[in-house]
Structure 1
């Protein structure tokens, strides 16, 4: 899978400030793409909208174990 050049990537607010632990996300029609910001041409993880929403809500509640 490759990222569209039109994708708007943003860094996760949970990424480390040292530049060594950066995760970027981009929203698509079907969900969210996730990549390592140091490897922009590297592999991507695609997560469907419902799964991403559940994941983010779980993080916000602090109930991820």
Structure 2
């Protein structure tokens, strides 16, 4: 993963829609070191205590994938063996 990351803030689902008591949380996204710098196939990952989030950096508005840390570790292990 690249050390360059960008915090992405979003409002918690527990915040009210009236603009009163709002909680925002942030995730630091890291681009895969295997992604090309030309903007081609880019995968970004944000690790949180209970999940590892994966998204396509070319289209961050699309839903990403959230994996349990053990599942992410198993995937990385498998990918390294292929």
TM-score, length-normalised on structure 2?
0.62
Moved runs in structure 1, 4+ residues, more than 3 A? none
Which structure has the higher relative contact order (CA within 8 Å, separation 6+)? 1
TM-score, length-normalised on structure 1?
0.76
Corresponding residue of 1:11: 31
Q: How many residues align?
A: 59
Gap regions ≥5 residues in structure 1: none
Higher strand share: 2
Aligned alpha-carbon RMSD (Å)? 1.5
Query: Which one has a bigger Cα radius of gyration?
Result: 2
Higher helix share: 1
Gap regions ≥5 residues in structure 2: 1-7, 10-25
Following superposition, the deviation at residue 54 of structure 1 comes to 0.9
